[in-house]
Structure 1
């Protein structure tokens, strides 16, 4: 497409009305700009007209009587000024009368009057004047039309009515004049007026586009300011985040360092056992904190997508109850659950994460009384309500409780109040499931009530057989190969698997692990591998090679990566997935599921035969 530069001219970029949708706000802004332009330039136009007319009157004072010329010039100037004053005062009318459009309407009326007023002098005096005086008068009128360009050209209706009525009255007067020597003046005046019309149209178009550009620039400035403010807030939040993370990680790390030193310097078995309990507590606290930080990061990265599956509501909430009963008993609180018995299509991980964080928060801020949990299905939605009899939440901080790292200080002691991430994670988990977490309005100190509703449907069938299979899978003993480039992780996983009753062997070398699986493919049941390896192959590549050797060998992919692609790829291979850091019970449950999957695979003779043929080929 040929550009304006290629055509030999440089055209400035201006968005046209077809390029920018003229909203009511922009249209009103254009009208307001017209009014301000007219009000600002009308006095200048009047002064210019008076100056031109006075100059011509002085030059031709011997032809046209000076007193008459000055009289009608003053009359015209007064009328122009009066029109401006009256129209300007209309802006002071009440807002309900829409003063901007009323102003434009009265501008047209008064401009028409300004042109019509010529009818009187044109009818009484103009026809009897000599041709030279008539020519000068026509010149003055034409000059006044050009003078109107700097004031009324932005309002095309006003300009057109002024020019037509003024020239019309003049031409009307000429029809009664005995002089016939003004044809040249009339032709020149008409041509000048046509040129003025074209100029007015161009001026009006440029004016509108200028207003649009100004409006766009103003919007861009506002957007830039908003973006700048958001970046400043984000930078401050990041700084607070880093400071909080550093502080909260150092706390349990310091405790672990001191406790490890104590354990190394004591021979008292009972004392060592007590220290081990404290070490496990600090380690669990650190793991929970890191998991919470990673969860928040996952939600902010948009890496969380609900994975719907049939879920027993009573079983899931039973797990939550068993998890928090020891803490509730320790604080002498009654933990009450009223739960629906049906199977629903839900994401069990997100639902448990949201509810568990709400229960944990309720227990922490309740010193006496009870914490109650209600889960009921109705209207194709599951409603969950967590209420406590704690200190309540002050109204002035209710808008902040869902913000990351916000910690309430209503409880007398600030110990063990967490990291200010629980409600943030709960809220974002609920949002990911298509719901909204709400805090009921209550008066202190009657406690706090959180509730949410998430869309769901009844599961087609209750998969009791699957649940029973999973329970049986917990008793299966497997031969497991562990692969990770971190030797400490390998040692910890192998020790955990041995403690769970499995036969496990670990590797930090990818090649060694693949060789062992290849040589013992008939006896290997499971491969647990990290996603990020210090090798040309990653964990997914290793699992693909293993499945090519023997499709019955199950796999688990581990990763601390927040991206969801690894999880989706692992599931596409038919493998399990664990996100670091994870707990022993999560590893145990995943292995149990894969043990059942292996049994089902081996029980199908056609798949076993196909796998053997594939391996031979």
Structure 2
């Protein structure tokens, strides 16, 4: 009977919080229910002597209230049952054994109080869990608002960089281009040339920062198309061969001709950052080589140089350009790694 009552009342109905504490309305309800059950039990036993089990119904109120209201209601029901059961038995002509009645009341008290204590502990645990859940939701909401504010600030920063910084630099580039048109090789002309180089470098850096931020914010999606490595070599050589020649660095491209699917602009940008680093740190007479290798699973690009750099210093060379390479590899479902004098980009086919 107890498992049946527990299934019917305890698993489906969670006790309200206000019923776990002393409550006058609960006390009256228990008193009325106990009185009705005692009356029905002893009258039924007297009217139907053959149904001797009818008077065992007096155990129902304590167990019911223990299951539904917890330890307080169980204690009240036990006290009411223990007090009124002998009285009702006497006045309603109960002819059974008094010892059986006392034993039944004792067992009922122990079972009801045990169940009531367990239900109360479970209810308090549920309430504590709900409070923690509510607190966690509030913390998540607060953090979400912070992230939203940070996202809006990032968008505002990108717009500000694009307008407040990029435009003056472009204007400065135009002015320097006009001043550098003078072919006379004077000291002032060389200063203008140097300023022109610095200004263009700053413009390129800002462009890289803005594009990096757009990709971080998810505003750039790869445009996957069939790409040939020969087209990639052509794009890279047109940019970096003059730069390498100016430093007297030999730039070599592997003669492979591999067709695969990727975003050509993104892979060119990633390799450009690796080539820029290698050429920058190379000395006169050294060589920088770009290769492409393929297997059934992936296409691998390798940029190697002859720069003798300690491992500790290599680990420190993690500038903005390498951050861009890592970001692009993430977008293209690839992996970026560095070891010794080589940098590798592996794209899954």
The bucket for the TM-score relative to the shorter chain is 0.5 to 0.7
In the alignment, is residue 303 of structure 1 matched against residue 202 of structure 2? no
C-alpha distance in structure 2 between counterparts of 1:395 and 1:232, whole Å: 38
1:104-143 to structure 2, matched below 5 A, reads: none
Partner of 1:422: 321
Q: Which residue of 1 aligns with 2:254?
A: 338
Distance 1:372 1:217, change over 3 A: farther
Q: What are the Cα deviations for residues 363-382 of structure 1, in whole angstroms up to 9, with x where unaligned?
A: 22333533221211112421
CA contact (8 A) 1:317 1:339 kept: no
> Is 272-281 or 352-361 further displaced after alignment?
272-281
- Say if 2:236 and 2:268, in contact at 8 Å, map to a contact too: yes
Across the two proteins, how many residue pairs are aligned to each other? 255
1:372 correspondence with 2:289: yes
2:208 aligned partner: 292
**Post-superposition offset of 1:313:** 0.8
Query: Who is 1:452 aligned against?
Result: 345
| Match among 259, 263, 274 for residue 358 of structure 1 | 274
**TM-score of the two chains, using structure 1 as the length reference:** 0.34
Secondary structure, aligned partner of 2:223: coil
Deviation at 1:226, TM superposition (A): 7.2
Structure 1 counterpart SS, 2:209? helix
Q: Distance in 2 between matches of 1:394 and 1:225?
A: 43
Q: CA deviation at 1:355?
A: 1.0
SS of aligned partner of 2:218: coil
| Equivalent residues in 2 for 1:257-268, closer than 5 Å | 259=176
Unaligned runs of 5+ in 2: 1-65, 72-96
For residue 304 of structure 2, give the secondary structure of its aligned residue in structure 1: strand
Q: Distance in 1 between matches of 2:128 and 2:299?
A: 53
Distance in structure 1 (CA, Å) of the matches to 2:236 and 2:254 = 12
Which of these residues, 98, 110, 129, is aligned with residue 212 of structure 1? Answer: 129
Contact preservation (8 Å) 2:177, 2:196: no
SS at match of 2:283: coil
Deviation for aligned residue 1:303: 2.6
In structure 2, the CA distance between the partners of 1:302 and 1:267, relative to structure 1 (3 Å rule), is closer
* TM-score where L is the length of structure 2: 0.55
CA distance in 2, matches of 1:424, 1:239: 22
Q: Distance between the aligned counterparts of 1:312 and 1:245, measured in 2?
A: 33
1:339 to 1:214, Cα distance in 2 relative to 1, 3 A? farther
Distance 1:309 1:335, change over 3 A: same
Q: Displacement of 1:247 after TM fit?
A: 11
Q: Indicate the SS of the match to 1:193.
A: helix
Q: Secondary structure at the residue paired with 2:242?
A: helix
Q: Distance in 2 between matches of 1:393 and 1:210?
A: 60
Residues 1:396 and 1:232: Cα distance change in structure 2 (over 3 Å): farther
* Distance verdict in 2 for CA 1:387–1:246, change over 3 Å: farther
Question: Which of the pair has the greater relative contact order for Cα pairs under 8 Å at 6+ separation?
Answer: 2
Asked if the contact 1:358/1:422 (under 8 Å) is kept, the reply is: yes
Q: Residues 239 and 372 (structure 1 numbering): CA distance in 2 closer, same or farther, change over 3 Å?
A: farther
Indicate the residue corresponding to 1:599 in structure 2: none
